[in-house]
């Protein structure tokens, strides 16, 4: 049994006010948190759920007594390194106060603590809808109802994916938890474990808490979504072979690309399978697909990027906020995505600012990878109406016998860097489309953005020019460009830039 530390023994006044049944070491008290919280109504203000490992009794009115096994809600986040005191709410007594952090834990001892997320119902649905989350996985979360928590469970029945929500009620007078009034439990863990062996949802029992990080699934069929769960709202864009809609998948906001008659369902299904294999923070996340019934349009479902395309975002950007440093970071973030595609030997084939998307937190992600593959499969259908992205395309990729190559993506990346640095300026804006390839074959290239009044260091322009070397084999790999860009950012802001630190983690 752990002993009291010397510093605690010296604090006699503090020691005399506590009765300890089991003797953990208590850290010296931090200054008291004197804030008061209406904890009975707003559970969302508490950041973490912990389990009491020991009894704690105190005569100090600012302390919160508790018993072994009590569920406590913390004002601040919990980690293994958390020391001292934290303001908490006791679910059993409905009281608040300060607690010693080495009397509690949130891992291993309690399935309820492992299942806790301080998120809304909508966010719970989003997390449970992610591919890789299995049937029966669940999240415990705040509820707006008095003396209640929310329990959200992934449930599939007859091939229909769904999220079920249940209220976990607490009876203050009896100290019991329940979902159904006729089956009550002393602890949350008892309630959860009961429904791990007793059917709760249409698909069966609870299984395990939804992991904080979900690995991608191995089975493509897990991405299939029932069409009835998807509601198209507003058309966001239209291409030669598809339309993109803002949509809801239950209460989760998503983007849906639909298949037009000019493209085949098989092409879109192959595109979905390609996206299934690619999982990276800098690629737009693939969420699912609908291919039934066969007479309905194919749906390809991805995360919704609120700020739209990078091209539109830059065109309307506040340049004092989206400054040169931010532009460097954006270019680097795209390069990180392309280095990943390069590593797994996937050619994007249509890299440009219009195909890079920006989310609500201004995270930049590459989209529409593999789209040109779909266009080429339909090359015999009606090429006359196709808009070929000549301004972003390497000279060799404009030839009829072109074999897709990563080095052509490197060329396109250099053009994208020009777009970013000029806030969406059209490449070769003084040239007609038919004039561009002859212009390039004569050895001409885009001038530095500085010629149009934008900032671009000579070193960065040299990186761009290296992407436009005539011989594809002489162009750098994306991994090399990524390293060069990191050096540029370090020179610009005096410190190394890590793209992953600026990514809003989905999990």
Q: How far apart are CA 326 and CA 336, in angstroms?
A: 15
d(CA 279, CA 283): 7
Q: How far apart are CA 283 and CA 73, in angstroms?
A: 36
257 is in an annotated binding site: yes
* 408 to 334, 342, 377, 458, 480: CA distances (angstroms): 15, 11, 19, 23, 15
* 8 Å CB contact between 232 and 245: yes
Task: Give the CB-side neighbour count of residue 158, counting CA atoms within 13 A.
Answer: 1
Residue 320 CA, chain-centre distance (Å), reads 27
Residue 268 phi, psi (nearest 5): -70, -35
Residue from 206, 207, 167, 189 nearest 109 by CA = 189
Rounded distance between C-alpha atoms, residue 441 and residue 438, angstroms? 5
Residue 190 bears catalytic tag: no
Q: Label residue 109 exposed, middle or buried (CB < 10 Å: 0-12, 13-18, 19+).
A: middle
Bridge partners (DSSP) of residue 99 are 86
Measured CA to CA, the distance from residue 398 to residue 224 in angstroms comes to: 36
- 3-state DSSP call for residue 438? helix
Distance CA 176, CA 246 (A): 43
Computed from CA positions of residues 106, 109, 114, 116, in that sequence, does the dihedral angle turn out positive or negative? negative
Alpha-helical runs (H) found in 167-253 = 188-194
- Judged on CB neighbours under 10 Å (0-12, 13-18, 19+), 190 is middle
Are residues 98 and 175 in contact, defined by beta-carbon separation less than 8 angstroms?
A: no
| Catalytic entry in 63, 189, 267, 350 | 350
Measured over the CA atoms of residue 287, residue 358, residue 311 and residue 336, the dihedral's sign is negative
C-alpha dihedral sign at 308, 310, 316, 319: positive
Query: Which two structure tokens, joined as six digits, stand for 196?
Result: 């791990």
Contacts for 369 with CB less than 8 Å, ≥ 6 apart: 274, 275, 278, 283, 341, 346, 348, 349
Please, which residues have CB within 8 angstroms of residue 162's CB and are 6 or more apart in sequence?
A: 154, 155, 156, 202, 229, 250
Q: Which residues are annotated as a binding site for ATP?
A: 257
Q: Which residues are annotated as a binding site?
A: 257
Active site residues: 350
């Amino acid at each position: 049994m752990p002993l009291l530390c010397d510093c605690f023994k010296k604090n006699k006044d503090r020691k005399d006010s506590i009765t300890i049944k089991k003797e953990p070491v208590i850290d010296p008290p931090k200054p008291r948190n004197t804030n008061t919280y209406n904890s009975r109504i707003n559970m969302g203000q508490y950041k973490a759920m912990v389990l009491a490992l020991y009894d704690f009794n105190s005569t100090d009115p600012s302390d919160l007594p508790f018993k072994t096994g009590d569920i406590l809600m913390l004002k601040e986040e919990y980690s293994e390194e958390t020391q001292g005191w934290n303001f908490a709410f006791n679910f059993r007594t409905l009281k608040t106060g300060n607690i010693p952090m080495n009397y509690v834990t949130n891992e291993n001892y309690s399935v309820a603590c492992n299942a806790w997320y301080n998120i809304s119902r909508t966010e719970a649905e989003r997390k449970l809808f992610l591919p890789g989350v299995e049937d029966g996985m669940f999240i415990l979360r705040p509820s707006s109802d008095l003396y209640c928590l929310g329990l959200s469970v992934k449930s599939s029945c007859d091939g229909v994916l769904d999220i079920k929500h249940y209220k976990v009620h607490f009876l203050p007078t009896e100290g019991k938890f329940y979902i159904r009034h006729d089956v009550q439990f002393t602890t949350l863990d008892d309630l959860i474990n009961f429904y791990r062996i007793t059917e709760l949802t249409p698909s069966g029992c609870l299984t395990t808490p939804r992991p904080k990080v979900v690995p991608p699934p191995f089975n493509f069929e897990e991405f299939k979504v029932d069409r009835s769960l998807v509601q198209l709202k507003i058309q966001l864009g239209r291409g030669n072979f598809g339309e993109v809609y803002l949509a809801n998948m239950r209460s989760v906001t998503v983007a849906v690309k639909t298949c037009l008659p000019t493209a085949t369902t098989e092409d879109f299904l192959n595109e979905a399978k390609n996206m299934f294999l690619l999982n990276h923070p800098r690629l737009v996340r693939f969420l699912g697909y609908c291919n039934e019934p066969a007479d309905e349009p194919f749906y390809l479902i991805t995360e919704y990027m609120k700020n739209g395309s990078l091209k539109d975002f830059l065109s309307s950007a506040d340049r004092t906020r989206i400054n040169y440093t931010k532009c460097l970071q954006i270019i680097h973030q795209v390069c990180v995505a392309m280095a990943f595609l390069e590593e797994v030997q996937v050619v994007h084939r249509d890299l440009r600012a219009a195909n890079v998307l920006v989310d609500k937190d201004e995270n930049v992600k590459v989209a529409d990878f593999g789209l040109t593959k779909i266009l080429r499969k339909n090359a015999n259908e009606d090429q006359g109406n196709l808009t070929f992205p000549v301004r972003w395309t390497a000279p060799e990729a404009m030839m009829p016998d072109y074999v897709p190559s990563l080095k052509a993506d490197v060329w396109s990346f250099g053009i994208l860097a020009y777009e970013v640095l000029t806030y969406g300026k059209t490449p070769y804006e003084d040239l007609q489309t038919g004039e561009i390839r002859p212009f390039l074959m004569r050895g001409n290239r885009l001038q530095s953005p500085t010629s149009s009044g934008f900032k671009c260091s000579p070193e960065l322009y040299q990186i761009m020019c290296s992407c436009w070397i005539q011989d594809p084999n002489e162009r750098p790999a994306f991994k090399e460009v990524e390293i060069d860009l990191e050096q540029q950012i370090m020179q610009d802001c005096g410190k190394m830039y890590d793209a992953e630190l600026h990514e809003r983690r989905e999990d």
